[in-house]
Every structure is written in C-alpha cells, then in structure tokens.
Amino acid sequence: MSSEMMSSDESSNMSLWKSDPSTVVTFGGREVTVEEVVDIAYGRSLVDISNDADFQERIIKGAEFLDKLWKEDGAIYGVTTGYGDSCTVDVPPHLVQELPYHLLRFHGCGLGKDFTPNLAMAILATRLSSLSRGYSGVRMDVLNQLVLLINKRIVPVIPEEGSVGASGDLTPLSYVAGTLVAERDVFFEGTRQASKDVYNSLGLSPIELKPKEALAIMNGTAAMTGIACIAFKRAEYLAKLTARITSFASIALEGNAYHFDEKLFSVKPHPGQNQIATWIRDDLMADETPRNSSRLQDRYSIRCAPHIIGVLQDALPWMRQNIETELNSANDNPIIDGIGEHVLHGGHFYGGHIAFVMDSMKNCVANLADLMDRQMALLMDSKFNHGLPKNLSGASKERAMINHGFKAVQIAVSAWTAEALKATMPASVFSRSTECHNQDKVSMGTIAARDCMRVLELTEQVAAALLLSVCQGVEIRQREGSITDANLTASMKSMKQEVFEHFEFLEEDRPLDKTLKQFVSLIQQQNWELY
C-alpha cells in the first residue's frame, strides 16, 4: 500500500504531541494512572518495562506454564481449541501455530472513522498496562513490541466501529495485534502506511505470535478504557471551564454574586458542588452577603450553575476509581496464573464498569452543554440581558440595523447542544446476544465511550462559542463604563486578554467558523490554567 497523508483532523491531533517527551512511564510492578496514559497518548511521555523481579517472574512463568501445559495436557482453550462458541472445535497440533493469526485476521472487519492517533496511542498504553499485570500468558517479546510502537510513535490505524464490549474489544484490538505482526496499516510521521513498510524503513522486525498471544492482546477492554482515560481529563477540564464561563456570564449579566455564598452552600454540602461554588465566588470577588439583599434571584442557568456543574465534579472521583481499576486489571480470558499453575476461565473482558462510567459521564457533560446553551440565550436576548445589545452586537448605532452579532452562533450552539443531549441515551442497556449466543450479554462499553467522546466534542464547541460571547459581553460592559478591570480577578483579566488575542471584538458581521475551531482546539489542549 502506498503512503497517504492523514486527514486534517488526524494531523491536528498529531500536532498536539510533543517531540521531546520529558518523562518515562514504567509498566509492570506498579499502578498506572489516567494522567500517565494521557501523557503517553499526547507524546509527553515515553514508556519502558519494569525490571522488578516479581513482575519479571510472573511474565516468564506465565508463558512457560502455557508451553508446559500444552506438552503435558495437550488441551488449552484458545490454543488447541477454537474461540468463543467454537471452543468445542479441536485444533490439531500442526495448525496450532497458525490459529492466533486467524483470530486477528477474521476480526479485521472494523468500519467507520478511525480512532484519532492520540486515542489509538491511549489504547496501546492501556493494553500494555493490562498485559503487564502478568496474568495473560504473553512473553516479554509482546510487551517489548508494544513499547517499541509507543516510543517510535508507530500508531495502529484502528476503526471505531465493531465492538460490543464483550468478549472485550476484539475487533479494535485485532488492529493492534495485526500491527505487531506487520499485517495492518499505521500512522507514522504524518502519513498512513503499511506497518511492514514502516518496520522495513526503520530496520525493525515484527514479532511472531505464540498460540495464546493474539487472544491475550485482543480479548480485553483496552479500547474503551483508553478512550475513558482521555475522556476523563477532558471532562475534568470542562467542569472548570464551565465554572469560569459562568463567572464571566454573571458579570456580563450584572448577576447576583451572593448566589454563591459560602454559608448558603454549607447547608447542602456536596463537596464537588461546593468546590464549583467556591471557584465562582472567588472569581466574582463576592464580599459578605447582606442581611437582606435587594438584588433577588438570577435565572437558574446562573444561580444553579454549581448544582449542575457539581454533579460532574462530585462524580469525577468515583469515575477515576473505576477507570484506574480497569486500567490496572488483567481483563482478558482465560487468566494465566503461571506461578500457581492455573488456567482460570472467567469473564474479565466484560466492560460493564467502563460502560457505566462513560454513560454517566456523557450525561453529566451534556448537562454542561445545556447549561451553557441557556446562559447563551440569556446573554443574547435583550429582554433578559440587563441592557446588553441584542445578540451581543458590538456595532455602532449607525450600523446596528444591518449587524447581527452572535445570532447565528446561538443557533449553532442550540444545534450542538441538542445533538449532545440526544447522545445521552445509555448504550449499556442495549445489550445484544451475538456469536451464537455465547456472547449473550454484552457491555456496549466501547459504544458508550465513543458516544461520550462525541458529547465531549459537542460540549467543547458550545464552550468555545460561549467563551467568545461572555468575553464580548464583558468587553461591552467595560466600553460603556459599567465595569472596569477592577471588577475582574487577575486570572479572569488575563484569560479575557488572551481570548481577545485570538478573537477580534465582534463589531461588523463576519464568519466565525475558523475562530470557533481555533478555540475548540485551545480548549482541547487545556490552554488556560483554571483554578
């Protein structure tokens, strides 16, 4: 296959990667964190394998036990038998070595868009983490080949569609296995190429899989869990960004800062909710609440922002716990206890925990989109925006009648929000019986994870539009003299200044699509230090 350039979306994701990784993440004998997976995905970290003696022994003993078992017993699931419903089919000895290659080949049926390079790298890191637990029966050669792919940035091309989340992410991970043996395409140095050509150009060799190794690589939750790691960090940032945008919106709308009073929130002590309220209260530099404020109640999208954002903020700790537990688990089947010499058949490939986290996360994040959509509506409507120009137009009085400000942007925000809300239908409840009723209850975890990524993307688009809008609103207030820089904290003033470095105050109508895309990218790069 001849090389072809990646799409603009693919290359933009590649451009986020650093060329000089500053840290090394060690796999084996230790727990791996969400942040470490994300750093690997974005090229901020290289990886290596631990020299811990206990870890090394587990890896070596697992592979040796399988060889011993084959010689002594002659029957091992997935080695001398077919897979899944075909487990009753015996594979004769002379075909055993070919079996793993058939597994990775017949699962090469993924369709849809390809995972972006950073997501594919997260999947690689996640699979390396699981195999490094030492209960999968793979040789050190497999781990070392995964390390090579990650450190050389040889990225498997992995189609998004084709996994039901049990028996794990078989079809997506077949593209990882295929890359290890040089049978699939990869992204390398900005182009899509055949993996064998990349190996040849670098003077590298593919590995030869032992009988159980394709099954170990493919039978697990690495795709959904890798996605979940990146989703978690994007959701975590969106919670902070939505709080900051709410602060700007409150200032632009001349809102009531006392809605975020410390005493008020002490009587409903959800920690995440109260953290959001504290951030907004500090942004607004709210002084002591008066005995009986003359300013009454802002609309819910301002007053209840901590309660809405706080649901996600309070959920993040248990989401992290579930993601990191899955990340640091042996989640294939069968489990190989090489030291105790047991083959343990079970269902660790089932992605129910990740499915639940992703379904929950997309619900929480979509509510952020809905919140910001409502804030946008308040800012745009002269009946509710406390004297701001309609549609936040910055046009002069002489030209106001032909200028439309953010009118169309609000329509787009409504569209993105509606799509995000539509995608909140839980994927995990749509289990399908498949594979001759062997896989008769499945997690749909990978579909849930993909849904969540789409909801995150749409919500980031809403956030980009609202960030421009609230900064426009605050700037209008400053130009009319109702507020000054003294009404903004140093952090908010700095953020507003940076926004206007990339966005010219909207005076005359102009297309904003390129600017919006730029701000979505800045949000995804977590450009602003928040709280």
Q: Single out the residue of 483, 213, 496, 491 nearest to residue 336, CA to CA.
A: 213
**Chain center to CA of 149:** 21
If DSSP codes are grouped into helix, strand and coil, which group holds residue 399? coil
Query: Which tokens hold the place of 155?
Result: 């990225």
Q: What is the pLDDT of residue 12?
A: 41
- How far apart CA 385 and CA 427 sit, in angstroms, is 38
Rounded Cα gap, residues 222 and 126, in angstroms:
5
The pLDDT value given to residue 292? 65
Q: Which helix (H) or strand (E) holds 25?
A: strand 23-27
For residue 423, what are the contacts with CB-CB under 8 A and spacing of at least 6? 362, 366, 451, 454, 455, 458
Determine the Cα–Cα distance for residues 375 and 371; give it in Å rounded to an integer: 6
Please report the pLDDT score of residue 16 as a whole number: 43
pLDDT at 11: 42
CA angle, residues 269, 315, 321, in degrees to nearest 5: 120
pLDDT at res. 477: 97
CA 156 – CA 171 distance, rounded (Å):
13
Task: Return the DSSP state at 260.
Answer: G
* 221 C-beta neighbours (distance < 10 Å), count: 35
3-state percent breakdown (helix, strand, coil) of the chain, nearest 5: 60, 5, 35
Distance CA 51, CA 452 (A): 37
Residue 295 pLDDT: 65
In this predicted structure, what is the pLDDT of residue 407?
Answer: 96
The tokens for 311 are 């649901």
Report the amino acid identity of residue 379: L
Bridge partners for 114 per DSSP:
159
Looking at residue 246, its pLDDT comes to: 98
At 266, list the tokens.
Answer: 């002490």
Domains of the chain (ranges, CATH numbers): 4-220 (1.10.275.10), 232-524 (1.20.200.10)
Distance CA 371, CA 309 (A): 9
Where do runs of H (alpha helix) occur along 91-221? Answer: 99-106, 117-131, 140-152, 170-180, 195-202, 213-218
Measure the CA–CA gap between 375 and 246, rounded to whole angstroms. 8
Neighbours of 295 (CB within 10 A): 12
Instruction: Please enumerate in sequence order all residues whose Cβ is within 8 A of that of 201, keeping only pairs 6 or more positions apart, or say none.
Output: none
3-state secondary structure of 257: helix
Residue-level pLDDT, tens digit, the chain, 531 residues? 445 655 444 444 444 444 567 899 999 999 999 999 999 999 999 999 999 999 999 999 999 998 898 888 877 777 777 677 677 778 788 888 888 899 899 899 999 999 999 999 999 999 999 999 999 999 999 999 999 999 999 999 999 999 998 878 999 999 999 999 999 999 999 999 999 999 999 999 999 999 889 999 999 999 999 999 999 999 999 999 999 999 999 999 999 999 999 999 999 999 999 999 999 999 999 877 776 666 668 889 999 999 999 999 999 999 999 999 999 999 998 999 999 999 998 888 988 999 999 999 999 999 999 999 999 999 999 999 999 999 999 899 999 899 999 999 999 999 999 999 999 999 889 877 776 777 777 888 999 999 999 999 999 999 999 999 999 999 999 999 999 999 999 999 999 999 999 999 999 999 999 999 999 999 999 999 999
Q: Between the CA of residue 211 and those of 84, 135, 139, what are the distances in Å?
A: 15, 15, 11
